[in-house]
Structure 1
Amino acid sequence: MAETASRPVLTEALWPADGAGLWIRRAVLVVLGVAVLAICAKIKVPVWPSPVAISLGTFAVLTVGAAYGPRLGLVTMLAWMLVGALGFDVFQNSSAEKYGLAYMMGATGGYLVGYALATLALGAFARRGWDRSVPGMAAAMLVGSVLVYIPGLLWLNYLVATGLFDATTYASPWDQTLAWGLTPFIVGDLLKAALAALVVPGLWKLVGDARA
C-alpha cells in the first residue's frame, strides 16, 4: 500500500529534481499554476443544451491537483486565492468593480473551499496512480467535482435562504440553490471530466514513450 501511495505525479515525472532544483521546480510550478488557473477561469465555452456557458476553471483546478499532487496542488490553489483576495481579477466572474474578499465571500465562496478539497483529493488519487488510466482519471474527476459542489451548494443555499430567495419563482430555497448552482453545470462538468480523463493519461503515455 505504501509503495502504491508514493507514486510520482505527472510534474515529477516530467521534471525530476532534487536539492535546490526541487525548490526551483516548486516555485516555477506554483507561478505557472496560478497563471493557468487565472486564465482558464476566464475561458467560457457555450454548451448545448445548458443555458449557462461552462468555464474551464474547474477543469484547471482538478487537473492541477492531479498533475501537482496534494501538497503542491494545495499550495498553488491557496496562492491563486491569495492573489484574488489581494484584489486581482483572477476568478471566473470577478471584475474591476467586484473582486477581492468581498467577491470571495459571495456566492462563489463555497466553491472556492470545494476547490481546495478537490485539489487534495485529486492529488491523493494521482499518488495512487488513478491519473494514469482513462477510467481512473474519470472517476477521480467525478469525485473531485462532487467535493467542489458540496460546500459550494451549502454556502449558496445559506445565502439564498437568508436574503436571496425568490418565492415567486422557486418552491423552496433548495430549489433555487440547485437551479442556480448545480443543474446548469452538469453537462459541462461531465464534458470536463471526459476531457481530463483523456488528457492526463495521454500525457502519461507520452512520458512512457519518451523513456522507452
Structure 2
Amino acid sequence: MTTASVKTKSGMSALSLVYCGMFAALMMIGANITSFVPFLVVGGVPITLQTFFAVLAGLLLGSRLGAISMTVYMVVGLAGAPVFAKFHGGFGAILLPTFGFIVSFILVAYVVGKIVEKYGSLRSYIVAGLVGLVVNYVFGTNWMYAAFKLWSAAPEAFSYAVAWAWMVPPLPKDILLSILAGIFGHRMYRVLKVRRAH
C-alpha cells in the first residue's frame, strides 16, 4: 500500500503521523525534565515543559494535527505508559487532580493552531502562545479545584484562591517559554514549511 493511499483512507500523510508521534514523545520528555534537571522542582512540585511543547505543537502542526498529537500523548499515558509527570501512567491518572492539565494540552494545541492558521505574523505567533498558556492554566486549575472538592481529598484550608496560588511558581517560566515558543515556532514554520491540515 502506498503512502498516498494511506493518506486517502486516514486523512493523514505518513509525515503527519511522524510529526504527531514526535510531539507526543517531546511531551513525555517535557513532563519528566526534572529527572534530568532536578532543580526545576519548586516546593515539591515539578516544573515541566509540557505547556511549551503543547503550544509548539499547535504553532507548527496547526489545530488539527496539534490536537491529535496531544491526544496521542494522553491516550498513550492512559494505556499505561509512564509518560506523565514523575513517570506516572495508567487509566487511574484520570482521577488525579492534575489530569485536567493533560486534557488542556489538547485544547491548547487546537486553539493556538487556529490562531496561527488565520494570522501568520510573528506577533500572532507570540499572542497565540500566550493565549494557549491562558487556556492551559484556566482549564487545568479549575479542573484541579473541582477534583479536590468532588472526588479527591482536599488539603486542609484548601480554597479556589489556594489552587491559583499553587500556579504562581511556574507562571513566570511558562510566560517566558510561551513567548519563546511563539518566536521559535514562527521561525521554524517558515524554515520547515510544515504543511498544515485544516
TM-score range, shorter chain: 0.7 to 0.9
1:178 partner amino acid: W
Q: Is the aligned partner of 1:32 residue 2:31?
A: no
Q: Is the aligned partner of 1:202 residue 2:184?
A: no
1:145 partner amino acid: L
Q: Is the 1:160–1:173 contact (alpha carbons within 8 Å) kept by the matching residues of 2?
A: no
Note closer, same or farther for the CA distance 1:62–1:185 as it changes in structure 2 (3 Å cut): same
**What's the counterpart of residue 59 of structure 1?**
52
Q: Is the 2:101–2:139 contact (alpha carbons within 8 Å) kept by the matching residues of 1?
A: yes
In 2, Cα distance between the equivalents of 1:76 and 1:207? 18
Computed over aligned residues only, the root mean square deviation of the Cα atoms, in angstroms, reads 2.6
**1:20: how far off?**
5.2
In 2, Cα distance between the equivalents of 1:106 and 1:204? 35
**1:54: how far off?**
2.7
Note closer, same or farther for the CA distance 1:204–1:117 as it changes in structure 2 (3 Å cut): closer
**What's the counterpart of residue 113 of structure 1?**
103
Q: Is the 2:59–2:182 contact (alpha carbons within 8 Å) kept by the matching residues of 1?
A: no
**What's the counterpart of residue 76 of structure 1?**
69
1:185 partner amino acid: P
Structure 2: stretches of 5+ with no match in the other structure? 194-198
Note closer, same or farther for the CA distance 1:203–1:18 as it changes in structure 2 (3 Å cut): farther
**What's the counterpart of residue 90 of structure 1?**
83
* 1:23-44 per-position Cα deviation (integer Å, ceiling 9, x unaligned): 2112222222221221122114
SS at match of 1:150: helix
Map 1:152-171; keep pairs closer than 5 Å. Answer: 152-162=140-150, 163-167=153-157
Q: Is the 1:41–1:56 contact (alpha carbons within 8 Å) kept by the matching residues of 2?
A: yes
Note closer, same or farther for the CA distance 1:122–1:18 as it changes in structure 2 (3 Å cut): farther
Map 1:116-155; keep pairs closer than 5 Å. Answer: 116-130=106-120, 132-133=121-122, 135-155=123-143
Larger C-alpha radius of gyration, 1 or 2? 1
Length, aligned pairs only: 181
Note closer, same or farther for the CA distance 1:204–1:159 as it changes in structure 2 (3 Å cut): closer
**What's the counterpart of residue 9 of structure 1?**
none
In 1, Cα distance between the equivalents of 2:189 and 2:25? 23
Note closer, same or farther for the CA distance 1:76–1:207 as it changes in structure 2 (3 Å cut): closer
Return the TM-score normalized by structure 1.
0.74
My pick for the range that moved more, 144-153 or 197-206, is 197-206
**1:73: how far off?**
1.3
My pick for the range that moved more, 100-109 or 116-125, is 100-109
Q: Is the 2:32–2:84 contact (alpha carbons within 8 Å) kept by the matching residues of 1?
A: yes
SS at match of 1:183: coil
